Amino acid sequence: MLNIEEGKIKQFLQQNNPYALGKLLREIENRPESSHRIMRFVYGYGGKAHVIGITGPPGVGKSTLIEKLAGHWAEQGLEIGVLCIDPTSPFSGGALLGDRIRMQNLTESDRVFIKSLASRDAGGGMPIYAFDMIKLFEAFGKDIVLVETVGTGQLEFRISEVADTVALVTGPGTGDAIQTIKAGIMEIAELYIVNQSDRPGSEETVRDLKMMVSESVGKRWVPPVLETTATKKRGITELSEELSRHKKYLESSGLWQERRRERNRKFFTRLLFEHCWQKINKHINHDQEIRDKISQVEQEKCDPYSLLHEVLSATLKIDG
Amino acid sequence: MSENIKVVMAKLGLDIHWRGAVALTRMLRDQGMEVVYLGNQFPESIVRSAVQEGADVVGLSTLGGNHLTLGPKVVEMLKEQGLDDVLILMGGVIPPEDIPKLKEAGIAEVFGPESKIETITDFIRNNVA
Ligand SMILES: Nc1nc2c(ncn2[C@@H]2O[C@H](COP(=O)(O)OP(=O)(O)OP(=O)(O)O)[C@@H](O)[C@H]2O)c(=O)[nH]1
Ligand SMILES: [Mg+2]
């Protein structure tokens, strides 16, 4: 299915079934440039999904939590999309996408659709087309979209740039969790979860997180700190209630709209950046004159600013 | 051909002993493929996962016993779902006399426990739609 046709895209969107969603997601995953063709039709469909990021260090129980949460919501009749992003091996370019093994019970439900995605060149973050995939889930009528990532992305596209609510999961005894949050390595979250609370050290981690959170007193949303044992389904109802409470908070404060606008604008800026850079880079590679000048810049025979203006006016036709 | 081959790998039914599926999953990753590992699953769930993941390849591992019923069932159900271009492979302990029956049912190839990883990846690369 090289270069999916317009008719096919429209047909898939109208079909609105798992087969069609699977095909469109695969198309973007396989050839990210096909977003250009697909997404034009997706935006008309609107969407109201609550996008929830579940992030945190490897092995703390993110997938197990998602299984229990999504199962809980599916029982209530909600439609759930799950996007699990796992790191690509820097050595082979391949990836082991192993989150589904903890979500086996979900595969039996018609209400839950799970897509596993390799991070590819986004390292610990998420590829930019994850944004499009979430929009596709929305267009296919999902009420809630859960996004699992390993929260180490610093410079990459971050979970907070796609999610309405970010929940950070840690385990007991990970005193470093707080260090990494403070150092800005881990995301700032709207909700903190101490999972594996059946293991020793849980109270201490909860206490530390609560102390950290108390510094945000005076803000209108004080992040709750929750204890869960995902494997035993403990704390799931409370977690789901807190997530809904955050959604209501966003809606009633006007932040829901505001943040989505900001998100859309940021995404557009990001797209512009990526495509302008690609275009300019391509031009530079084909223009011997500019390449010569770059080597002059290397040797400090030409200053970078003069060359910058020259390249800009040659490629973007904007008077720089 | 797909730029990044996506494989959905499952242990068929209740076979829990054969570790080959996990090892093979890692090896395929090391060959540059993106492999979704499902663990033990019955045909219905395997097919549902393949639809959601957009699988190019479905790999089924078995210790034998259930391969003649569950294997062809996966093929049949994938076709019902409209996924007729998915490459379906089987691996594990399978009596040689059953292999023709499996192929007739639509399993593209059967790999025994002694198969080399290169044989498997070459087969996948040459046969993915
Ligand atoms: N004791 C205990 N084990 C848990 C709990 N939640 C999850 N686990 C176990 O922790 C291991 C990792 O769980 P996952 O859900 O795969 O964790 P993850 O954060 O998604 O892991 P990655 O995707 O690899 O980063 C599994 O063996 C789970 O069974 C819990 O509440 N208590
Ligand atoms: Mg996981």
Tell me which of A31-45, A63-77, B109-123 is least confident.
Answer: A31-45
Classify residue A58 by its DSSP letter: T
Strands A95-97 and B34-41: parallel
* Residue B125 belongs to some domain of the structure: no
Question: Could you give the percent of chain A with pLDDT greater than 90?
Answer: 62
Mean pLDDT along residues A78-97: 95
* Residue B19 belongs to some domain of the structure: yes
Total domain count, chain B: 1
For residue B75, give its domain range.
Answer: 8-109
Contact A115 B6 (CB under 8 A): no
Would you call B36 an interface residue with chain A, using a CB distance cutoff of 8 Å? yes
With 60 as the cut, is the pLDDT of residue B7 above it?
A: yes
* Residue A7 belongs to some domain of the structure: yes
Pick the more confident residue, A320 or A269: A269
pLDDT for B49 = 97
- How close is the nearest chain B Cα to the Cα of A79, in Å? 14
Tell me which of A215-219, A291-295, B42-46 is least confident.
Answer: A215-219
Q: Which of B11, B34, B35 to mutate to test the interface with A (most CBs of A within 10 A)?
A: B34
Quick one: which of A209, A176, A182, A183 has its CA closest to A194?
A: A209
What contacts A157, CB < 8 A, 6 or more positions away? A122, A125, A126, A127, A128, A130, A131, A270
C-beta separation of A85 from A119 below 8 A: yes
Residue of chain A whose alpha carbon sits nearest to that of B49: A107
Quick one: which of A163, A150, A153 has its CA closest to A51?
A: A163
Contact B52 A96 (CB under 8 A): no
pLDDT for B18 = 56
Ligand 1 mean position to B116 CA, how many Å? 33
Same domain, A1 and A149: no
Would you call B61 an interface residue with chain A, using a CB distance cutoff of 8 Å? no
**Tens of pLDDT, residues A215-247:** 776 778 999 999 999 999 999 999 999 999 999
Total domain count, chain A: 3
With 80 as the cut, is the pLDDT of residue B92 above it?
A: yes
Which amino acid does the sequence have at A264? Answer: N
For residue A122, give its domain range.
Answer: 46-252
Q: Please, which pLDDT band fits residue A174 given cuts at 50, 70 and 90?
A: low
- Find the CATH number of the domain harbouring B12: 3.40.50.280
- The Cα–Cα gap between A31 and A25 comes to 10
C-beta separation of A136 from A168 below 8 A: no
Contact B45 A104 (CB under 8 A): yes
- Tallying the residues shown for chain B, one arrives at 129
Tell me which of A172-176, A271-275, B58-62 is least confident.
Answer: A172-176
* Residue B65 belongs to some domain of the structure: yes
pLDDT for B17 = 57
Q: How many alpha carbons fall within 13 Å on the CB side of residue A35? A: 16
Backbone angles phi, psi at A172, to 5 degrees: -65, 150
Calculate the CA A98 to chain-centre distance.
Answer: 18
Calculate the CA B98 to chain-centre distance.
Answer: 16
Torsion-angle region of A186 (φ positive above 0: left; ψ -120 to 50: alpha; else: beta): beta
* Residue A288 belongs to some domain of the structure: yes
Both tokens of A97, joined, read: 């996408």
pLDDT for B1 = 40
**Tens of pLDDT, residues A79-88:** 999 999 999 9
Return mean pLDDT, chain B. 91
Domain boundary among A223, A252, A281: A252
C-beta separation of B84 from B47 below 8 A: no
With 50 as the cut, is the pLDDT of residue A320 above it?
A: no
Q: Please, which pLDDT band fits residue B2 given cuts at 50, 70 and 90?
A: very low
A69 lines ligand 1 (CB under 6 A): no
Tell me which of A147-156, A288-297, B64-73, B89-98 is least confident.
Answer: A147-156
pLDDT for B29 = 96
Same domain, A35 and A177: no
Signed CA dihedral, A171, A176, A179, A183: sign only:
negative
Same domain, A211 and A101: yes
Same domain, A222 and A287: no
pTM, 2 dp? 0.92
- The Cα–Cα gap between A298 and A22 comes to 48
With 70 as the cut, is the pLDDT of residue A139 above it?
A: yes
Mean pLDDT along residues A192-221: 88
pLDDT for A46 = 65
For B23-35, the DSSP string reads HHHHHHHHTT-EE
C-beta separation of A124 from A87 below 8 A: yes
- Find the CATH number of the domain harbouring A145: 3.40.50.300
Count Cβ atoms within 10 A of the Cβ of residue A298 and give its class: 0-12 exposed, 13-18 middle, 19 or more buried. exposed
**Tens of pLDDT, residues A147-163:** 999 866 554 567 888 99
Strand-pair partners of A165: A52
Same domain, A158 and A19: no
Contact A97 B36 (CB under 8 A): yes
Quick one: which of B67, B79, B49 has its CA closest to A108?
A: B49
A149 lines ligand 1 (CB under 6 A): no
With 50 as the cut, is the pLDDT of residue A273 above it?
A: yes
Quick one: which of A66, A81, A57 has its CA closest to A171?
A: A57
Of A21, A93, A108, the CB nearest to B32: A93
- The Cα–Cα gap between A54 and A192 comes to 10
A230 lines ligand 1 (CB under 6 A): yes
Return mean pLDDT, chain A. 89
With 70 as the cut, is the pLDDT of residue A308 above it?
A: yes
- Tallying the residues shown for chain A, one arrives at 320
Same domain, A8 and A50: no
The ipTM is: 0.94
Pick the more confident residue, A208 or A1: A208
With 90 as the cut, is the pLDDT of residue A278 above it?
A: no
Mean pLDDT along residues A285-312: 92
Strand-pair partners of A1: none
Quick one: which of A52, A56, A276, A255 has its CA closest to A166?
A: A52
